[in-house]
Amino acid sequence: MTSPDKDGFVGLLTARAAAEPDRVYARFAGEPLSYGELEQRSGAFAVYLRARGIVAGDRVAVMMRNSIATIAVVFGLARAGVAWVPVNAQQRGEGLNYLLTHSGPRLVVADVDLAPQIAEAMGPDSTLPVLLHAPGGDLDAVLAGTARFDEPVPAADAVFAIMYTSGTTGRPKGVIVSHRMLRLAAESVLYLSDARPGEVFFVWEPLYHIGGAQLLPLPMIRDVTLAMVERFSASRFWAQVREEGATHIHYLGGILQILLKQPPSALDREHGVRIAWGGGCPADIWPQFRDRFGVEIRECYGMTEASSLTTCNTSGVVGSVGRPMPWFTVRLLDGEGKPVAAGERGEIVVETRIPGAIFPGYLDNPEATAKALRNGALHTGDLGSFDVDGNLYFHGRMTDSVRCRGENVSAWEVEHVAAEHDAVEDCAMIGVAADIGEQDIKLFVKPRHGAIIDPQALSGWLGQRLAPYQNPRYIALVDEFERTASQRIMKHKLSPRLDDCWDRAATGR
């Protein structure tokens, strides 16, 4: 590795542009972007920011889908020392208003078709300035500027971004991410994925999520190329991968399961991918995906709050998220703050030897910061266990559980069993009001394309694989889930109603 503890990443761009201006940094939908072009366009945007009176330490919100212009804007903000506030392009209404109010941006940069969402969310009295992106429009004119930006690169601990957490169960929190943290995230990806010079990373992730943002420095550190597409498409995935000559693919959420549910194709093996890396690969899915598609699985665990990746599995132990990155240590603590024994579950607590590798706090949220950061350690709120060899296993969020019949039922465990059913493409579990006692379980299921699910038959199938108290009482079929940028299901959007679903108790079973 290089010196991630001392450096940011902005200087890497300017140095590479000076040495190899014509070298391709990335392709978006097949269109190449050279280092020289990226340096010029990002510099032009930084000059524009200064002309508007936006200085280092200010914030700018960016509500754009992936594009070459988006890359230039993000690097322009980074070069100017202005904090990037990435906003999910699907945000709207009160949630969008919260992000654009809480983060206090000096400017919003947005795709032109998203302008109505912003106007509706902010109301007619808003004075927040907006710069719109459309082919040949105002942003393109800014990026075509020729004035050079020659200010020194920001310090490694300067704020690079305010990245709001997914908010699957409540209001999102603004994670303060430094230039150092993004550099560490990129170094971690390279280490986990065993990237080699000349290889190609297939990028479907939106840059407004850490899963996409952490890839931005990769080409400058290891001479790899980013092959970017507009969005994840299960039906087109392997064809796109082959067209781009990709050697690496990334997974989050239920991506691997969704790909496995696609009809078999010759393309399953007619590609050049050797590594699939990411987080959230269940132990049973691991060998299925590896054997069908002929790729090596590299699993990891992490949070935006700790430079994205905390542990990585380079040994191939199926089901494990591996061991800590060189700059982190991980402890598992019980409810009294004491270490748990091998095989026992405890809260994942992360510490670091590099000051600044763990975030300094949440933006304007001292209560949440104090809960997460205690005595210099990050208390993740996640459950994990160690095996006797020190490999970490992830067991879901401590709070993502339901108290049913006197037992704590982990949503993660129920969902992973339900997802094994051939007709299920994806699913999510929540707790709902119970007639007697604490809560009942409601399972939402999206059928695989062309499949028909009988809730009663599914319930019987689950009953053979789950404990009685784990088997959902209610099953609701959905056409689609609302998702976060990382493809996680937004559980707080799921209906807690009891009259819009199948009820096992009504059948007498």
The reported pLDDT for the residue numbered 400 is 81
What is the side-by-side order of every strand in the sheet holding 502-503?
Answer: 424-433, 439-447, 474-477, 502-503
Instruction: State yes or no: pLDDT of 403 exceeds 90.
Output: no
CA 180 to chain centre: 18
**Band (90; pLDDT cuts 50, 70, 90):** confident
Q: Are strands 311-312 and 323-324 parallel, antiparallel or unpaired?
A: antiparallel
The reported pLDDT for the residue numbered 409 is 82
- For range 139-156, the mean pLDDT: 97
- The enclosing H or E element of 466 equals none
The reported pLDDT for the residue numbered 437 is 63
Instruction: State yes or no: pLDDT of 393 exceeds 90.
Output: yes
- For range 169-179, the mean pLDDT: 85
**High-pLDDT (> 70) share of the chain, %:** 96
Q: Diameter of the chain by CA atoms?
A: 74
Residue 236 neighbours by CB distance under 10 Å: 13
Picking from 35-39, 333-337, 356-360, 436-440, which range would have the lowest pLDDT averaged per residue?
A: 436-440
Residue 489 DSSP one-character state: B
- Computed from CA positions of residues 396, 397, 398, 400, in that sequence, does the dihedral angle turn out positive or negative? negative
The reported pLDDT for the residue numbered 172 is 83
Integer CA distances (angstroms), 104 to 74, 90, 172, 343, 367, in order:
18, 20, 15, 45, 19
* Type of residue at 391: N
Instruction: State yes or no: pLDDT of 405 exceeds 70.
Output: yes
Residues 461-508 pLDDT 10s:
999 988 788 899 999 999 999 987 777 888 888 999 999 999 999 986
Tokens 């095996």 locate to: 387
Averaged pLDDT of the chain: 93
Instruction: State yes or no: pLDDT of 344 exceeds 80.
Output: yes
Instruction: State yes or no: pLDDT of 104 exceeds 60.
Output: yes
In sequence order, what E strands does 127-247 have?
Answer: 130-133, 159-164, 174-178, 200-203, 225-228
What's the pTM value of the predicted model, to 2 decimals?
A: 0.84
- The enclosing H or E element of 19 equals helix 10-19
The reported pLDDT for the residue numbered 94 is 81
Quick one: which of 121, 137, 119, 120 has its CA closest to 129? 119
**Neighbour-count burial of 56, counting CB atoms closer than 10 A to its CB (0-12 exposed, 13-18 middle, 19+ buried):** middle
The reported pLDDT for the residue numbered 509 is 62
Residues 321-330 pLDDT 10s:
999 999 999 9
493 contacts 482 by C-beta, under 8 angstroms: yes
The reported pLDDT for the residue numbered 373 is 98
**Band (138; pLDDT cuts 50, 70, 90):** very high
The reported pLDDT for the residue numbered 438 is 78
Beta bridge partners of 407: 404
- For range 253-282, the mean pLDDT: 92
The reported pLDDT for the residue numbered 397 is 78
The reported pLDDT for the residue numbered 406 is 67
Instruction: State yes or no: pLDDT of 435 exceeds 80.
Output: no
Structure tokens at 150: 């020659």
Contacts of 286 (CB under 8 A, 6+ apart): 297, 299, 318, 319
Contacts of 254 (CB under 8 A, 6+ apart): 280, 419, 426, 487
Instruction: State yes or no: pLDDT of 5 exceeds 70.
Output: no
Instruction: State yes or no: pLDDT of 245 exceeds 70.
Output: yes
